[in-house]
């Protein structure tokens, strides 16, 4: 009787181990789904906040990072700018605008130095970087001497110094971007296992 009991006992032990392994696998799957859902919620929340900011500020890019030193000492590389772009607000000389030029992907942050306002309300203006020797006519598309309201992405309303340095580092050093992504991926995986 005693000898016949061993295989049965061994079998039940093996079954228990299999059940435990199955439970772990199911739990890991559940945890993985939970992590994926968590990540999707974070991304969708960020998109909702961004879209909300676009509606509230009237600007297609409510937040931008200063990428060059052309506006020093007013703004430095890495400063984070908060923009609004209400079309009813008149553009005035001295204010800082973010504008897009045909043929250039990245918007430019410069100061308005001259404004021409016509009787019909049409406005043309000229910009220049505070740290630049000459105005921006060399940056505009060929044959363009003035900017119009349609070229404006937003107008600076506030800023946080150097908060956008991570963006600049990722632009200047692509390897850093991949290292950061690897660290974030490892963190998600380790968090899931623990």
- Kindly report, residue by residue over 86-104, the tens digit of the pLDDT: 888 889 999 999 999 988 8
Same domain membership, residue 188 and residue 140 = no
Same domain membership, residue 68 and residue 110 = yes
Same domain membership, residue 113 and residue 142 = yes
Residue 12 has pLDDT above 60, yes or no: no
Q: Which of 59, 79, 136, 151 is catalytic?
A: 136
Question: What band does 2 get if pLDDT is binned at 50, 70 and 90?
Answer: very low
Q: Which of 59, 70, 79, 151 is catalytic?
A: 70
Same domain membership, residue 169 and residue 157 = no
- Residue 82 contacts by C-beta under 8 Å, 6 or more apart in sequence? 57, 62, 63, 156, 157, 158, 159
Same domain membership, residue 181 and residue 153 = no
pLDDT for res 51:
92
Question: What band does 163 get if pLDDT is binned at 50, 70 and 90?
Answer: confident
Domain count, the chain: 3
- For residue 10, being part of any structural domain is answered with no
Question: What does pTM read for this prediction?
Answer: 0.68
Residue 48 has pLDDT above 90, yes or no: yes
Does 136 qualify as catalytic in the annotation? yes
- For residue 1, being part of any structural domain is answered with no
Does 151 qualify as catalytic in the annotation? no
pLDDT for res 184:
79
- What is the per-residue pLDDT across 19-30, written as a single tens digit (0 to 9) for each? 666 666 666 777
Same domain membership, residue 86 and residue 130 = yes
Q: Which of 44, 45, 87, 110 is catalytic?
A: 110
Same domain membership, residue 90 and residue 45 = no
- For the chain, the average pLDDT equals 83
CATH number, residue 92: 2.10.109.10
- What is the per-residue pLDDT across 124-160, written as a single tens digit (0 to 9) for each? 999 999 999 999 999 999 889 999 999 999 999 999 9
- For residue 2, being part of any structural domain is answered with no
Same domain membership, residue 42 and residue 78 = no
- For residue 145, being part of any structural domain is answered with yes
pLDDT for res 60:
85
Residue 62 has pLDDT above 70, yes or no: yes
Same domain membership, residue 130 and residue 76 = yes
Same domain membership, residue 127 and residue 78 = yes
DSSP-assigned beta bridge partners for residue 96: 111
pLDDT for res 40:
85
pLDDT for res 4:
47
Same domain membership, residue 168 and residue 157 = no
- For residue 140, being part of any structural domain is answered with yes
Domain containing 32 equals 15-57
Helix, strand, or coil here: 131?
A: coil
Tokens of 42: 């974070």
Does 70 qualify as catalytic in the annotation? yes
Same domain membership, residue 147 and residue 71 = yes
**Contact 156/97 with Cβ under 8 angstroms?**
yes
């Amino acid at each position: 009787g005693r000898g016949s009991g061993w295989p049965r006992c061994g079998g039940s032990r093996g079954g228990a181990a299999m059940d435990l392994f199955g439970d772990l696998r199911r739990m890991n799957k559940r945890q993985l789904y939970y992590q994926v859902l968590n990540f999707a919620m974070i991304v969708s929340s960020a998109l909702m906040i961004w879209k909300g900011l676009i509606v509230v500020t009237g600007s297609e890019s409510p937040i931008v990072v200063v990428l060059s030193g052309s506006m020093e000492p007013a703004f430095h590389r890495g400063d984070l700018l908060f923009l609004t772009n209400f079309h009813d607000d008149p553009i005035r000389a001295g204010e800082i605008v973010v504008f897009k030029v045909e043929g250039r992907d990245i918007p430019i942050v410069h100061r308005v130095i001259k404004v021409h306002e016509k009787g019909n309300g049409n406005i043309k203006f000229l910009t220049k970087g505070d740290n630049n020797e000459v105005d921006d006519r060399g940056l505009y598309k060929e044959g363009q001497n003035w900017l119009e309201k349609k070229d404006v992405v937003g107008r600076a309303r506030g800023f946080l110094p150097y908060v956008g340095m991570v963006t600049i580092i990722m632009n200047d050093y692509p390897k850093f971007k991949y290292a950061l992504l690897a660290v974030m991926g490892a963190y998600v995986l380790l968090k899931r296992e623990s």
